Structure 1
Amino acid sequence: MSETDLSPVEGETTQQLDEDDRLKPEFVRAVTDAVEAGDADAAHALVEPLHPADIADLFELIPQEDRASLAKAIPDLLDGDVFAEMNDYVREDLIDALEPHEVADIASELDTDDAVAIIEDMEPEDQREVLRALDPDDRAAIEEALSYPEESAGRLMQRELIAVPEHWTVGDAIDYLRGHEELTTDFWEIFVVDPGHKPVGTCQLSWVLRTPTGVAIGDVMKREQTLIPVDMDQEEVALRFQKYALISAAVVDGVGRLVGMITVDDIVHIIQQEAGEDVLRLSGAGDGDINEPIRLTVGTRLTWLVVNLGTAILAASVVGLFQGEIARFALLAVLMPIVSGMGGNAGTQTLAVVVRAIATNQLTDSNTRWMILRELRIAAANGASLGVLIGLGTFIAFANRDLSIVIAMAMVINNLIAGLSGVVIPVTLDRFRIDPAVSSAVFVTMMTDVMGFFSFLGLATLWGLGA
């Protein structure tokens, strides 16, 4: 598509063009061609109608070597909203290409939580330079946020909120909101605090607008509220928002003082991020971000592949114990992968359910025993069904009754092992503060492989199939 094809035709608005053509392959190619040709004006004209979130996506879609050139072509469009929506790895590349005062200008436009997201991954020296370039108030707020643990409520919260004393009237609150232009404009509720700045309730804007001005805030506020400790993990914060259907929530420090708030738009991002991380960690694929540097991706994947290699050697050593029986009865070598493979699939099913239950706090100390018994019952039913099927199939194929009985029994045993390990392994890792999404899969696979081979070949030996 040519540049003229992408410009608005007579009677067509820029908004219509934005909705119809933004980020299509033809559009991305047109932007890339303009950048590579050094035509900054053409690139700027193409990008200018886009929403900040679409500009952020555009940087992810164009080749890495063209991102710096595009940034130079549209400096006035690269505001804080664009950087806040940008992929972490892409943002880091662009931040590295900017001067500290330019990063400070961008950070100063953002809410504290978004500014922290930009600054927290910078090198310490670059981080200090950016902080020095900020206004004192902004610098103090960001430094305080950086003092909290990563992925905690303190990093996630924003300091820009509305808090009023309980003795004010609704009219006082409205006058306060109208008379202070520096107050944040993005909020859904007003926090009510006591003289020690501890939250005692909340008052929705709809209540303020519909209540006579002479009524005290304390008479219309809701005293029941969900308070978020400043050091709470962001995944637990997301669970509270989901459980109690929150729009925003107050964040309090160690003594209960109001220090910030978290809003649902941040939680949507956290839920998406945490869910994606758990799925990818179960496979040992790391972050799974296509913009992640190859060096980091190789390192993450190779680590778990090496661990898998070790468990595969362990499983092979179990097979080696029965090489005499296998040599005398070759059908054992044909059928044994079926037992281990089916056990591995059953273990993965259980593991996925348990890891999700742990992540959402559905599985706790109080119901772990019930969960183990539940999965064992499921495993026994599945194992018996699969055992009958594989037993009949083996008898039809090889007309060997003893072999059919052995493989059916091994299938039941390995399914029970799969169900048990699929619960016990992630629960045990979680008790030791090890993320079960990262480490469980390799150990469950090891158990089902080792026990699958051992149960099948061991039963075959006891049954005398190789005699």
Structure 2
Amino acid sequence: MSAPDAISESATDGEVKDPARQDALEDGQLKQSFVQEVEEALERGDDEEVQALAAPLHNADIADLIEQFAPQDRAALAAALGDQLDPEVLAEMDDEVREDLIDMLPPEQVAEVLGGLETDDAVAIVEDLDEADKQAVLRALEPDERAAIEEALGYPEESAGRLMQRDLIAVPQDWDVGRVIDYLRGAEPDALTDDFWEIYVVDARHHPIGTLRLSHLLRSPRTTPVAQIMEGEQTLVPVGMDQEEVALRFQKYGLISAAVVDASERLVGMITVDDILHIIQQEADEDIRRLSGAEEGGIHERTRDIVRQRLRWLVINLGTAVIASVVIGLFAGTIEQMVALAILMPIVASLGGNAATQTMTVTVRALATDELTSSNTRRTIIKEIRVAIINGLAIACLIGLGAALYFSMPLLGVVIAAAMLGNIFVAGLAGVLIPIALDRADVDPAISSSVFVTMTTDVMGFFMFLGLASIVLL
């Protein structure tokens, strides 16, 4: 078997080949038995055993291991790991876990950790510190590292300036391939970034004018001018651009890295796809939690913080539920005269809410990914109306026929069928119009949409069903 074949076979089976790691992992996750072994070694105070167990693990696996421990035991585990607590382990951790762990470390040790990280990862840690701890850590850093981090902190939160790496490779456009290769080979190890996929070509004003792929560089003769083999088209990211918009550009254009430019269009940094993958996951997680009113409350966050974040929206939901109850109260006499209405009311509200949630989820995600724009909003609304009418007719026929047969009242079947059709129609409109309206008003639709959509479907569902019932049946 040739070397490329062997590499391909080992890379495509998706399994961990290291036997020691296989003992610790199952389907890419730490085995419970392995975590228990580490816990027992830590309880015995056997730091050497803890280090031996963790030695085969990847930095991301060690981060997962620390997250598996109770908050009060994480500092002890970090201390027992010793030198195996690589700076990259902190970069791989959940934000809440990392913040708690950093709070337990002295500023000098935090500064030492930051010195081993890329600027963007170091900034992600520093920006979560309290102001006093932040200043203490910055004072403990080397002057050049402190200057880079302070410059990054000067940019808005969740912007390209916070996300970018300062270390990159840029060459003048008048160099040839041989000079670039000699430069890469002869530079001091600390003078160049460790990982790069593209070399940026700049003019005399340090404006990026193209990119040079490593594959083109290595396969071209030494005398070939850089300007001849560089790619002139490139995606430039303004330093103040929101990180979510940066992620959308990477996704849209299939980028591996992108140059970051300041207001004068000078090259100041680069963003790589590994950072973007983290941003995409982070933004998707936030949208999912916000749709349910959970906002930032992850499983590692403190109980009091989770309660504070969720309770606010539960109180708002309580207010909207009271509005729906008021509508029901208006038809109390109608319900008293026909018990069947009370039995069928939850069906109308439930199906309307589910239909609205389907439309709302798709709309919010389309807004977040820039798929829903001003040019296709009208077409999207018309399509959702068609979907609502078709689904409403199908569900109306089913529930109408079922209610008529069960209660032996054909008119009741007609009433609930009409109310169901109307509520699903309203649900479709609310599910698309409310997120769009909130987005146009610069309010995050992921946070607020569900409250207003649920209120709309509940109120309109009860009003249509009980109103029609009072007119037709009584």
Band of TM-score, shorter chain: over 0.9
The C-alpha deviation readout for 1:184-210, integer Å capped at 9, x for no partner, is: 120000001111111100000111111
Supply the distance in 2 between the matched residues of 1:179 and 1:133 (Cα, whole angstroms): 31
Tell me which residue corresponds to 1:86: 93
Shift of residue 284, structure 1, vs aligned partner? 1.2
Unaligned runs of 5+ in 2: 1-15
Tell me whether 1:214 sits opposite 2:217 in the alignment: no
Q: Which stretch shows the higher mean deviation, 436-445 or 31-40?
A: 31-40
The C-alpha deviation readout for 1:384-426, integer Å capped at 9, x for no partner, is: 1111111111111111121111111101110111000001100
Supply the distance in 2 between the matched residues of 1:335 and 1:51 (Cα, whole angstroms): 56
Shift of residue 156, structure 1, vs aligned partner? 0.8
Tell me which residue corresponds to 2:467: 458
2:331 is aligned, of 301, 310, 322, to 322
Shift of residue 49, structure 1, vs aligned partner? 2.5
Supply the distance in 1 between the matched residues of 2:306 and 2:224 (Cα, whole angstroms): 60
1:386 is aligned, of 391, 395, 398, to 395
Contact 2:171 2:202 in 1 (8 A): yes
Supply the distance in 2 between the matched residues of 1:50 and 1:338 (Cα, whole angstroms): 52
Amino acid in structure 1 at the alignment position of 2:245: E
The C-alpha deviation readout for 1:352-409, integer Å capped at 9, x for no partner, is: 1101111111101111111111101100111111111111111111111211111111
3-state DSSP of counterpart to 2:426: helix
1:70 is aligned, of 65, 77, 87, to 77
1:412 is aligned, of 412, 421, 427, to 421
3-state DSSP of counterpart to 1:251: strand
Normalization by structure 1: what TM-score? 0.95
Supply the distance in 1 between the matched residues of 2:228 and 2:49 (Cα, whole angstroms): 59
1:273 is aligned, of 275, 282, 295, to 282
3-state DSSP of counterpart to 1:49: coil
Tell me which residue corresponds to 1:10: none
Tell me whether 1:20 sits opposite 2:23 in the alignment: yes
Tell me which residue corresponds to 2:13: none
Contact 2:67 2:97 in 1 (8 A): yes
Contact 1:36 1:66 in 2 (8 A): no
3-state DSSP of counterpart to 1:110: coil
3-state DSSP of counterpart to 2:122: helix
Supply the distance in 2 between the matched residues of 1:127 and 1:63 (Cα, whole angstroms): 26
Amino acid in structure 1 at the alignment position of 2:164: M
Tell me whether 1:141 sits opposite 2:144 in the alignment: no
Tell me whether 1:33 sits opposite 2:40 in the alignment: yes
Change (3 A) 1:33 1:20: closer
Contact 2:416 2:465 in 1 (8 A): yes
Tell me which residue corresponds to 1:115: 122
The C-alpha deviation readout for 1:210-234, integer Å capped at 9, x for no partner, is: 1111111111100000011111111
Supply the distance in 1 between the matched residues of 2:74 and 2:55 (Cα, whole angstroms): 16
Amino acid in structure 2 at the alignment position of 1:166: Q
3-state DSSP of counterpart to 2:155: coil
Q: Map 1:38-187; keep pairs closer than 5 Å.
A: 38-181=45-188, 182-187=191-196
What percentage of aligned pairs have identical amino acids? 60
The C-alpha deviation readout for 1:262-292, integer Å capped at 9, x for no partner, is: 1011111111111121112111122342111
Shift of residue 14, structure 1, vs aligned partner? 10
Tell me whether 1:230 sits opposite 2:233 in the alignment: no
Shift of residue 325, structure 1, vs aligned partner? 1.0
The C-alpha deviation readout for 1:279-325, integer Å capped at 9, x for no partner, is: 12111122342111111111111111111111110000000011111
Contact 2:297 2:309 in 1 (8 A): no
3-state DSSP of counterpart to 1:259: strand
Tell me whether 1:435 sits opposite 2:438 in the alignment: no
Tell me whether 1:353 sits opposite 2:362 in the alignment: yes
The C-alpha deviation readout for 1:145-193, integer Å capped at 9, x for no partner, is: 1111111111111011000111111111111111112211200000011
Contact 2:23 2:34 in 1 (8 A): no
Tell me whether 1:342 sits opposite 2:351 in the alignment: yes
Shift of residue 90, structure 1, vs aligned partner? 1.1
Amino acid in structure 1 at the alignment position of 2:165: Q
- The alignment of Structure 1 onto Structure 2 pairs a total of residues equal to 453
Q: Which stretch shows the higher mean deviation, 120-129 or 41-50?
A: 41-50
Supply the distance in 1 between the matched residues of 2:406 and 2:170 (Cα, whole angstroms): 76
Tell me which residue corresponds to 1:4: none
Amino acid in structure 1 at the alignment position of 2:462: F
Contact 1:35 1:66 in 2 (8 A): no
Unaligned runs of 5+ in 1: 1-12
Supply the distance in 2 between the matched residues of 1:369 and 1:313 (Cα, whole angstroms): 33
Q: Which stretch shows the higher mean deviation, 172-181 or 15-24?
A: 15-24
Supply the distance in 1 between the matched residues of 2:421 and 2:115 (Cα, whole angstroms): 62
Supply the distance in 2 between the matched residues of 1:370 and 1:34 (Cα, whole angstroms): 62
The C-alpha deviation readout for 1:216-262, integer Å capped at 9, x for no partner, is: 11111000000111111111111111111101000111121111101
Tell me which residue corresponds to 1:5: none
Tell me which residue corresponds to 2:248: 239
Normalization by structure 2: what TM-score? 0.93
Contact 2:297 2:305 in 1 (8 A): no
Tell me which residue corresponds to 1:194: 203
3-state DSSP of counterpart to 1:185: coil
Amino acid in structure 2 at the alignment position of 1:411: M
Tell me which residue corresponds to 1:421: 430
Supply the distance in 1 between the matched residues of 2:362 and 2:35 (Cα, whole angstroms): 40
Amino acid in structure 2 at the alignment position of 1:157: M
Contact 2:412 2:469 in 1 (8 A): yes
